[in-house]
C-alpha cells in the first residue's frame, strides 16, 4: 500500500506496456472511505508530450460521459510525473471471465442474458456515440476497443462499458510491445483495420463479434497469425451461429450477422436500432431477462467473489481499515484489465514485428499545448507502424505487403495480387501513411501505394520500406512457390 495523491493504492490488479491498474481507496471526512480503480500511465509514456496530450484530450471527453451502462470516470490528474484516471469500482466481472467460468461448468451464458447484456451495452454506446458538447456539436466519440474484457457485468445485473477514450490515444501512439496488439486484432472492424475514419458502426461490428462468441462458445477470429486474422475480418465469411449452436433462433442469428457486415452501410444505422432489435427479439420469443435476473445469475456463478465483496462492504460500514482486506480472493483478476495495453500479471505475451518510430529524447511534461485533430507524421513522432507481410508467389500471383497505422484519418486500401507474365511476378505495397519509399535491392522503385513488377522467380530480393520519422523495415523474399507465408 502506498500513498498516491489523495488516494491510497491497495493492490495492483493489472499492468502492461502502457498503464498499471490499482484498486485504491479515497478517504473523506469522519473516516469515510471509498473504493476506486486507478489507472496510471507508465513513466516512459508520461514523459512523452504528444501522447500525454492525446491521452488527456480523450480522457476529458470520456469524463463527460454519465450513463448507467458506462463506467464513470471520477477524476483525471497528475501526481508527480504520473498521470492517472480514477474510475468507478465495479463489483462484478468482465464478460470474458463470465463466459470462461460458464464454459468450465459445461454451459454457455443463457441466451436471454446474453441478449440483455448486449442490449444494455448498446444503450451505453448509443449515449456515447450521440453525445454533444454544450453548444450541441457532436463529440464523435467512438470506443474503438469493444471486446469481452471491456464489458463489465456487475453483481447488480448491470452491463458497463469500460475504457472509453483510452483506445484512441493508444492507437495514435502505439508502441508495438509484446502481447499488446495480438488479442485486439480479433475485435477490430474492417474499417478500423483499413485506417479509415470511424463512427459508431465500427463499435457495432466489434460488439457483433462479442455476441457471436457468447452464443457459440467459440472465438470468431482466432487464427495462427495476425495476417490471417486481418484477412478473415476484411474478406472472410462469417460462419452461421446455428452451425455451432442450433438452439439460437434464426432471428437472433440474423441480428448478429447484420452487425458483422463488412460494409458499415449494411449494418444497423446506430446502436439504438440494434438495441431495439434485441429487445424485440426477447419479446417475440417470450424470453425474460432483466437486471434482477442477471444479478441472480452472476451471484450464483461467482459465489466466492461475491462473498469477498460483501466483506469489503462490511468493513466500510464498520469503519474498519480497508487495507486489512487485501482482496486475496479477488486476485489475480482482469476485471479492469481489458483496456489497451494492460494485462493481468499472470498473462504471457508474444511479440509482433513492427516498424517503429525513431527514438528521440523524451520531451518535458506539457502544460497544455494545442495539437491538430489528426497530426501528420513527422520525424520523431512516436507512432509505430505495424507491419504484416504476406508472400503470395509464383507466376500468376504476387507479393502483398500491408502496412497499417493504428489510428485514423487516412483511407486504407488492401491490394491483392493480379496476374503476371510467365516466369515473372510483382509486388503491391500499400502503406498508411502513404508516400513511403519502396526499395528493391537498395534501389528506390516507387512510393506507396505502388506496384513493382518484372520481378524474376526463384531469385532472392531485399525489400525495404522507408518513411521519414520511422526506422526502415526490410526483409528478404523469393518468388518461388504458390503459397502464403507470414
Report, as residue numbers or ranges, the catalytic residues.
Answer: 145
Q: Under a CB-based contact definition with an 8 Å cutoff, are residues 469 and 375 in contact?
A: no
Bridge-based pairing of strands 437-440 and 460-466 is: antiparallel
Find the DSSP H helices in 269-383. 271-284, 291-301, 303-318
Calculate Rg over the CA atoms of the chain.
Answer: 24
Cell of 189: 472492424
Q: Under a CB-based contact definition with an 8 Å cutoff, are residues 211 and 420 in contact?
A: no
How far does Cα 182 stand from its chain's mean position? 10
Q: How many helices (H) and strands (E) does the chain have?
A: 13, 19
Cα–Cα distance for residue pair 308/303, rounded to 1 Å = 9
- State the burial class of residue 263 (Cβ atoms within 10 Å of its Cβ: 0-12, 13-18, 19+): exposed
Q: Under a CB-based contact definition with an 8 Å cutoff, are residues 31 and 319 in contact?
A: yes
Residue 206's φ and ψ, nearest 5 degrees, are -60, -40
20: nearest Cα among 32, 2, 257: 2
Instruction: With H, G, I as helix, E, B as strand and everything else as coil, classify residue 70.
Output: strand
Q: Under a CB-based contact definition with an 8 Å cutoff, are residues 174 and 382 in contact?
A: no
How far does Cα 449 stand from its chain's mean position? 27
Torsion of CA 293, 295, 296, 300, to 10 degrees: 140
77: nearest Cα among 378, 483, 365: 365
Q: Under a CB-based contact definition with an 8 Å cutoff, are residues 144 and 203 in contact?
A: yes
Cα–Cα distance for residue pair 150/198, rounded to 1 Å = 19
Residue 440's φ and ψ, nearest 5 degrees, are -115, 120
Cis peptide before 454 (omega within 30 of 0): no
- Strand stretches in 332-423, DSSP E: 354-355, 385-392, 398-405
Cα–Cα distance for residue pair 185/176, rounded to 1 Å = 13
Amino acid at each position: 500500500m502506498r500513498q498516491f495523491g489523495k488516494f491510497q493504492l491497495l493492490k495492483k490488479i493489472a499492468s502492461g506496456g502502457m498503464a498499471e491498474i490499482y484498486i485504491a481507496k479515497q478517504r473523506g471526512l469522519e473516516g469515510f472511505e471509498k473504493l476506486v480503480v486507478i489507472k496510471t500511465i507508465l513513466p516512459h509514456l508520461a514523459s512523452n508530450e504528444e501522447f500525454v496530450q492525446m491521452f488527456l484530450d480523450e480522457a476529458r471527453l470520456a469524463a463527460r460521459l454519465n450513463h448507467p451502462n458506462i463506467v464513470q470516470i471520477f477524476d483525471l490528474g497528475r501526481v508527480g510525473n504520473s498521470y492517472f484516471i480514477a474510475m468507478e469500482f465495479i463489483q462484478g466481472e468482465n464478460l470474458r471471465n463470465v463466459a470462461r467460468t460458464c464454459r468450465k461448468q459445461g454451459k454457455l451464458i443463457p441466451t436471454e442474458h446474453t441478449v440483455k447484456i448486449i442490449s444494455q451495452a448498446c444503450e451505453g454506446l448509443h449515449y456515447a456515440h450521440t453525445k454533444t458538447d454544450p453548444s450541441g456539436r457532436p463529440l464523435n466519440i467512438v470506443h474503438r476497443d469493444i471486446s469481452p474484457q471491456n464489458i463489465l457485468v456487475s453483481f447488480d445485473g448491470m452491463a458497463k462499458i469500460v475504457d472509453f477514450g483510452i483506445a484512441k490515444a493508444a492507437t495514435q501512439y502505439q508502441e508495438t510491445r509484446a502481447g499488446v496488439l495480438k488479442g485486439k486484432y480479433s475485435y477490430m472492424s474492417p474499417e478500423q483495420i483499413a485506417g479509415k475514419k470511424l463512427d459508431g458502426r465500427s463499435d457495432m461490428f466489434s460488439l457483433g463479434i462479442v455476441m457471436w462468441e457468447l452464443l457459440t462458445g467459440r472465438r470468431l477470429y482466432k487464427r495462427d497469425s495476425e495476417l490471417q486474422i486481418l484477412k478473415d475480418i476484411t474478406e472472410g465469411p462469417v460462419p452461421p451461429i446455428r452451425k455451432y449452436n442450433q438452439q439460437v433462433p434464426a432471428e437472433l442469428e440474423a441480428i448478429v450477422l447484420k452487425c458483422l457486415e463488412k460494409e458499415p452501410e449494411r449494418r444497423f444505422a446506430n446502436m439504438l436500432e440494434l438495441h431495439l432489435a434485441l429487445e424485440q427479439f426477447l419479446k417475440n420469443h417470450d424470453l425474460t431477462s432483466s437486471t434482477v435476473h442477471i444479478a441472480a445469475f452472476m451471484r450464483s456463478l461467482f459465489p466466492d467473489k461475491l462473498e469477498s465483496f460483501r466483506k469489503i462492504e462490511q468493513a466500510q460500514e464498520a469503519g474498519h481499515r480497508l487495507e486489512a482486506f487485501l482482496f486475496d480472493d479477488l486476485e489475480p483478476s482482469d476485471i479492469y484489465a481489458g483496456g489497451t495495453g494492460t494485462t493481468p500479471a499472470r498473462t504471457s505475451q508474444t511479440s509482433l514485428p513492427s516498424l517503429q518510430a525513431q527514438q528521440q529524447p523524451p520531451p518535458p511534461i506539457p502544460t497544455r499545448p494545442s495539437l491538430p485533430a489528426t497530426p501528420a507524421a513527422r520525424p520523431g513522432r512516436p507512432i509505430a507502424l505495424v507491419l504484416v507481410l504476406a508472400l503470395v508467389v509464383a507466376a500468376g500471383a504476387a507479393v502483398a505487403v500491408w502496412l497499417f497505422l493504428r489510428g485514423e484519418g487516412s483511407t486504407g486500401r488492401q491490394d491483392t495480387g493480379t496476374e503476371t507474365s510467365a516466369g515473372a511476378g510483382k509486388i503491391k505495397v500499400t502503406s498508411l501513411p502513404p508516400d513511403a519509399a519502396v526499395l528493391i535491392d537498395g534501389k528506390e522503385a516507387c512510393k506507396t501505394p505502388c506496384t513493382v513488377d518484372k520481378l524474376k522467380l526463384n531469385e532472392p530480393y531485399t525489400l525495404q520500406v522507408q518513411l521519414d520519422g520511422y526506422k526502415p523495415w526490410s526483409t528478404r523474399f523469393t518468388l518461388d512457390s504458390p503459397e502464403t507465408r507470414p
